[in-house]
Structure 1
Amino acid sequence: MNETAIDYEAVFQGLPGMVALLTPELVYADANKDFQRLSGRMREELIGRYLFDVFPDNPNDTTATGMRNLHKSLLRVLAGGERDAMALQRYDVEDPLHPGEWEERYWSPVNAPVFGPDGNVALLVHRVEEVTELIRLRGGTGGDSRARVLEAELYTRARELQDLNERLRQSHAREREVALALQEAMLPARRQVGNHRAAVRYRPAVGALNVCGDWYDLVDLVGGNRIGVAVGDVVGHGLEAAGVMGQLRSALSAASRVADGPAQALDVLGRYAHVVDGAESATAVTTFIDFDAHTITYSSAGHPPPCLVHADGRVEFLDLATDPPLDARPDPRPRPEALVSYTSGATLALYTDGLVERRREDIDTGLSRLADSLVRHRTADPESLADAVLLELLPPGGATDDTALIIVRL
């Protein structure tokens, strides 16, 4: 639906329950029909008037604190910019038709900010849940008011818990947005590597915080027609994992440009990981591809093996140079390195465990699924091949771990 076609005034008036809009000065800016009806105040008795002139505390009852508590809640929202769900409040509301007569009411308010273009609170949404009749039904009109309030506390606490869960969900969603933006800024863009085609993909995990542990990199190497291709995975999720990921990716990228081979690059990275908080047990695999010699030299630090699909469809997992994860040993030792040859038209795939690992499933099942997909689509260009692999291997609703994938046509 086109946004301009929505009559938001009609939507506001049709909202179920009592909803009002207040200015930062706590003056009524608008009130929906339910608010007018249930509060017993006509629109002209509300709009433009100060909230506590319309609903003052009962001057005949010094124990009446509902309006004072509401005032404190609204000030908290204005100061902190966060939603505030109040506990059940007893209010004495003056009968507009009979001045001086006060009716005992029970309202459960939620106050929330509406921000303007400058980022400041421009309006307050004041939503009130009327529970007077519920309390009367539970406690009887002649029962002790304190007992009736206690009767309704379970109801109120359940609603407060729902509101708290919503606030936590929104907070996690905000952190996820920031983490994804940081991940995007740190990861290199898709690129042509020399005269050879490469495709890269990153898919965040489903859920609010399950994001930002995986990374990938492609670098031009000094000397000859060579590139370095690497992927890695940081333990943990969220902003902290994103920061660690960025540090490790940058360190390996720099080390690869000056190292004699991938094993030496991982040696340097392992020493660096030792002084980076949060890098414990991170994994990585890096490959040095020499297009002139038609060779791939590789080394792995606890990471799933790269998959090489030869031009004839034969599959080879590069698992002959696997070592423990980064910073796994108190005294680092030189990592192993292996070399494999290929012919033109082969395809190399590097990936993170989110692509192949599933709960209650052996890892070999996921690796076989990957190999089968790569073989069936091996004649496609790298971009189409990457899309096909993700479509076939990732669950329809998304994986519970983030996923990085690099496809290089050799």
Structure 2
Amino acid sequence: MRDPQIDYAAVFHALPGMVALLTPDLVYVDANDDFLRLAGRTREQVLGRYIFDVFPENPNEPAAAGMRETRESMERALATGERDTMALLRYDIEDPHRPGQWQEHYWSPVNAPVLGPDGRAVLIVHRVEEVTDLIRAFGRRGGDTRDRVLEAELYTRARELQELNERLRKAHAREREVALALQAAMLPVPGPSRHRTAVRYRPAIGALNVCGDWYDLADLPDGGLAASVGDVVGHGLVAACAMGQLRSALSAACRVADGPGQALDALGLYARSVEGAESSTAATAFVDWGDRSIVYSCAGHPPPALLSPDGAVTFLDGATDPPLGARPEHVPRLQASAPFVADSVLVLYTDGLIERRDEDIDVGLDRLADSLTRHRQADPDALADALLADLLPPKGNTDDTALVIIRL
């Protein structure tokens, strides 16, 4: 059976309920028949015009906030790439036949972004339910006074919910801002070094699931280099604080330990006393340029990747143990060694770079290996940028990502 040929323009205009399409500049590009009919506007009065020129705020209502709240909802949808549902909203409409006369209306709006190939919002779907009659119907049997009382009560409760939602949203944004600032302070970009390295940190987009990932580079007393990445299970300020403590502890342990296994041993014992550090993961690699070897150890963390000059990629998975503090009794950590040739590349990363909820982790590892092979001749900074561009979704990842690259 052949697929039916669907006229989506005709479907859009026949949709029950009010639906309009706007540009990111909030200019109408289309509106369905119900939208025009219930809003009392013609197509010519709407299309190509700024939304708040078509529907300005009622000047007779000093406390009116419909225009501001609608604009903020649309801007959130554009910024986050996610649907934004508004609470019950009073937004009066001027009578098109009697200028200066305003009709009281109550609406229940939803704003949803339409994403382009690059993951950016190119349109807003503005769907509105007209609920004025529903609100007024609550008290009809009790007369006009009862009707108005119930109408006012319902609207008041809806506004309270909207205000609570706004306070929670602002608190959420503030905590995220503080957590990111703390994260940035504890993950400074390394200064000049004799080694060719690059580091990156990318927070999750539009979420508080940030500030649990870290990276570290430490010069060892014998002239080698210790590279580490880690991931705290929590998020927000708690994760940022735990991350800072674990990163500092591991950096110190690497400088005095006999190897990465012993360094992670010490970190695991320390993690048991740090709030929010339970079941955190980490990977550490010691680079020895004298004998051209990498000694590494992983605590529940994705394996480092070793890129050879010919483009072959090996995942260093010979020393993988459970996450920090996960064992009921202390057991020494495993460590393993791998040789490398000049001009190889060592890559340590957190799971935000490779993991996706809808696919097996091996798919992400294959994607990483393919990107490394294609960009094998790039310097560390260019390679780091290429990996993030290739592997992170265009509209942003749902988990934060840390990355360390060393040209050996």
TM-score by length of 1: 0.67
Q: Which structure 2 residue ranges, 5 or more long, are not aligned?
A: 1-51, 65-86, 91-103, 107-131
What secondary structure sits across from 2:279 in the alignment?
A: coil
What amino acid is aligned across from residue 297 of structure 1 in structure 2? V
Where in structure 2 are the equivalents of 1:349-388 lying within 5 Å?
349-388=347-386
C-alpha distance 149-217 of structure 1, shift in aligned 2 (>3 A): same
What secondary structure sits across from 1:304 in the alignment?
A: coil
How much has 1:35 moved relative to structure 2? 4.6
Which entry has the higher C-alpha Rg, 1 or 2?
1
C-alpha distance 403-143 of structure 1, shift in aligned 2 (>3 A): same
Equivalent residues of 1:138, 1:148 under 8 A apart: no
Rounded to whole Å, the distance in 1 between the matches of 2:231 and 2:204 is 13
How much has 1:145 moved relative to structure 2? 2.5
Where in structure 2 are the equivalents of 1:1-400 lying within 5 Å?
16-17=56-57, 33-35=59-61, 143=143, 145-194=145-194, 196-223=195-222, 225-400=223-398
Rounded to whole Å, the distance in 2 between the matches of 1:257 and 1:328 is 24
Equivalent residues of 2:139, 2:146 under 8 A apart: no
What secondary structure sits across from 1:331 in the alignment?
A: coil
How much has 1:297 moved relative to structure 2? 0.4
C-alpha distance 36-338 of structure 1, shift in aligned 2 (>3 A): closer
C-alpha distance 133-391 of structure 1, shift in aligned 2 (>3 A): closer
How much has 1:133 moved relative to structure 2? 11
Equivalent residues of 1:188, 1:217 under 8 A apart: no
What secondary structure sits across from 2:284 in the alignment?
A: strand
C-alpha distance 163-312 of structure 1, shift in aligned 2 (>3 A): same
What amino acid is aligned across from residue 199 of structure 1 in structure 2? A
C-alpha distance 35-308 of structure 1, shift in aligned 2 (>3 A): same
Deviations 1:209-243 (A, max 9, x none): 111010000001112x2010000000011000000
Rounded to whole Å, the distance in 2 between the matches of 1:286 and 1:188 is 18
TM-score by length of 2: 0.67
C-alpha distance 35-301 of structure 1, shift in aligned 2 (>3 A): same
What amino acid is aligned across from residue 239 of structure 1 in structure 2? L
Rounded to whole Å, the distance in 2 between the matches of 1:391 and 1:34 is 51
What secondary structure sits across from 2:253 in the alignment?
A: helix
What amino acid is aligned across from residue 217 of structure 2 in structure 1? L
What secondary structure sits across from 1:406 in the alignment?
A: strand
What secondary structure sits across from 1:359 in the alignment?
A: coil
What amino acid is aligned across from residue 209 of structure 1 in structure 2? L
What amino acid is aligned across from residue 166 of structure 2 in structure 1? E
What amino acid is aligned across from residue 339 of structure 1 in structure 2? S
C-alpha distance 290-147 of structure 1, shift in aligned 2 (>3 A): same
What secondary structure sits across from 1:320 in the alignment?
A: coil
How much has 1:155 moved relative to structure 2? 3.3
What amino acid is aligned across from residue 180 of structure 2 in structure 1? L
Q: Which structure 1 residue ranges, 5 or more long, are not aligned?
A: 1-11, 19-32, 39-84, 89-105, 109-131
C-alpha distance 268-136 of structure 1, shift in aligned 2 (>3 A): closer
What amino acid is aligned across from residue 227 of structure 1 in structure 2? L
Equivalent residues of 2:135, 2:154 under 8 A apart: no
Deviations 1:89-113 (A, max 9, x none): xxxxxxxxxxxxxxxxx9x9xxxxx
Rounded to whole Å, the distance in 2 between the matches of 1:374 and 1:345 is 13
> Who is 2:109 aligned against?
none
> Who is 1:43 aligned against?
none
C-alpha distance 285-403 of structure 1, shift in aligned 2 (>3 A): same
Deviations 1:83-137 (A, max 9, x none): xx9xx9xxxxxxxxxxxxxxxxx9x9xxxxxxxxxxxxxxxxxxxxxxx999888
> Who is 1:54 aligned against?
none
How much has 1:157 moved relative to structure 2? 2.5
C-alpha distance 135-264 of structure 1, shift in aligned 2 (>3 A): closer
Equivalent residues of 2:353, 2:392 under 8 A apart: yes
C-alpha distance 323-134 of structure 1, shift in aligned 2 (>3 A): closer
What secondary structure sits across from 1:232 in the alignment?
A: strand
Deviations 1:243-283 (A, max 9, x none): 00000000000000000000000000000001111111000
What amino acid is aligned across from residue 390 of structure 1 in structure 2? L
C-alpha distance 369-137 of structure 1, shift in aligned 2 (>3 A): closer
Deviations 1:53-109 (A, max 9, x none): xxxxxxxxxxxxxxxxxxxxxxxxxxxxxxxx9xx9xxxxxxxxxxxxxxxxx9x9x
Equivalent residues of 2:209, 2:400 under 8 A apart: yes
> Who is 2:20 aligned against?
none
